[in-house]
Chains A and B, each alone.
Chain A
Amino acid sequence: MIIAYLIYDSYSLRACTLTCYSWYIAAVPHLHHTFAIIFVPWCLNLWPLYFLRSMHVLGLLPLFKDLRIHVEEHLYHGLSAERFDRSILRYFLALTNVRNLRLDYLDIPSFMARVQQYFGHFFPTVESLTLKTPKGSYRQIVYFIGLFQHLEDLELICDPAGPRQDQPGDLTLVPPFTPPLRGWLKVQCFTEVELLKVMIGLFGGIQFRGVDLSAVQEVQLLLDACAKTLETLILRPIEARGKQRHLGCGF
């Protein structure tokens, strides 16, 4: 009961784990809820490898529900298959209960040949997917989204990077599943509405119940696409201010 009260206060929760073994058992799933893998420029893959290995030794990797993978785009040209060498992949596959997945600068074409090998263990469990500036054609991005068969929430941050036109080979790409997508659609700083149109076309419509749009073009198109199901809409009145310039979003 006490632990449940403190699940959002990580410092207090950490102190609770020292009280006794039963408190540790109760607190540890909340404490190790979110895991961030960050590829930093000065030590290549060693930093993520160090953390993955130490978490694996303690048997904590299956506890993580929220996984965020960040890579410095300008240094690595995105999160490509190259970043996942055999040693990292071994521990990466132990993350078996991830519900919320965030991937920054994901280089989708580099994973296309063996996407199941890298991300297959996420497909049955992930319910919420965030893609920040993914690389690849529209169809490749929608194909990737369509791999997550139980996906309810989708968040897109910033426009896709890299080749934006569908390649001839992409036209045969059909998402293996039509995810339910009945939760939240969050879109930030997005002008390439074509991606959303391709998604609506390939999934045969979208049924989000909540929509959160910030600095997005063609807002009306998205609202109309969810006309029958939309229950909650998030607006930022600050964005309605005429020509006044303001900071819209920060990451």
Chain B
Amino acid sequence: MWVLANDFAAGSSLWDLDLSRNKSLRTLKLRALSVNLDDPPDTTSSFLKHILSTITSSAFSEIIAIYEDHHFRGVEPWSKWPHLREMSRAERKKEALFYRSHFKLFREAQKVRSFGLVLCASTSGFVGEYPVQVLEEAVAEEGAKRGFGDFLFEPSVMYDPQRTCLG
């Protein structure tokens, strides 16, 4: 069943969210980050800045960006069981660009409120640790190029594999 999210969320915009009363908030997790490089990231960036500006919790320290099977070009997510596929050099380059655009987004958001960044590979257990390697390479590459001095702590990578029922 597929549902148009905007039809449901029409009554209360996420832009009206105010997290100032949530005094214990530690972590913000971001799901469903855009997979399309051509998407203008302005909306996501503005939204993230708006949300961060409403946070007053002193415990707040990190943003976890969740990446799923479809975020990784080397994973065939829509088959019966997600699996790895061969990638060309051009595809690998495009994949690196994808993460670079996300780091840019988070660097922008740092200007509103300082936080640490965690990249989480929440992928099917069938695809093994390939997604973790991709994220670690992205972090290492970004660190070598620009450093992470503006982040609260150096970005880390975590692995949260999803169990699949064989049926």
Real complex partners, A and B? yes
A residues engaging B (CB < 8 A)? 7-11, 14, 31, 33-36, 66, 68, 158, 189-191, 212, 214-220, 223-224, 226-251
The CA-CA distance from A220 to B167 in the complex, in Å, is: 39
How many chain B residues touch the partner (CB < 8 A)? 50
Q: Which of B35-61 contact A (CB under 8 A)?
A: 43-44, 47-48, 51, 59
In contact, A233 and B27 (Cβ under 8 angstroms): yes
In contact, A219 and B26 (Cβ under 8 angstroms): no
In contact, B8 and A248 (Cβ under 8 angstroms): yes
Segment at the interface with A among B11-19, B88-96, B130-138, B150-158: B11-19
Residues of chain B lying within 8 A (CB to CB) of residue A235: 14, 28-31, 51
Interface secondary structure of A, over-half rule? mixed
Residues of chain B lying within 8 A (CB to CB) of residue A215: 3, 5, 8-9
Residues of chain B lying within 8 A (CB to CB) of residue A229: 24
Closest beta carbon of chain A to B25's beta carbon, Å: 6
B6 at the interface (CB under 8 A from A): yes
Closest beta carbon of chain B to A2's beta carbon, Å: 14
In contact, B30 and A10 (Cβ under 8 angstroms): no
Contact of B1 among A14, A34, A226, A251 (CB under 8 A): A251
B34 at the interface (CB under 8 A from A): yes
B163 at the interface (CB under 8 A from A): yes
In contact, B48 and A218 (Cβ under 8 angstroms): no
The CA-CA distance from A200 to B15 in the complex, in Å, is: 25
The CA-CA distance from A155 to B80 in the complex, in Å, is: 25
In contact, A239 and B6 (Cβ under 8 angstroms): yes
In contact, A220 and B6 (Cβ under 8 angstroms): no
The CA-CA distance from A7 to B1 in the complex, in Å, is: 29
In contact, B8 and A216 (Cβ under 8 angstroms): yes
Given known pairs A34-B163, A238-B32, the reply for A223 and B44 (CB within 8 Å) is: no
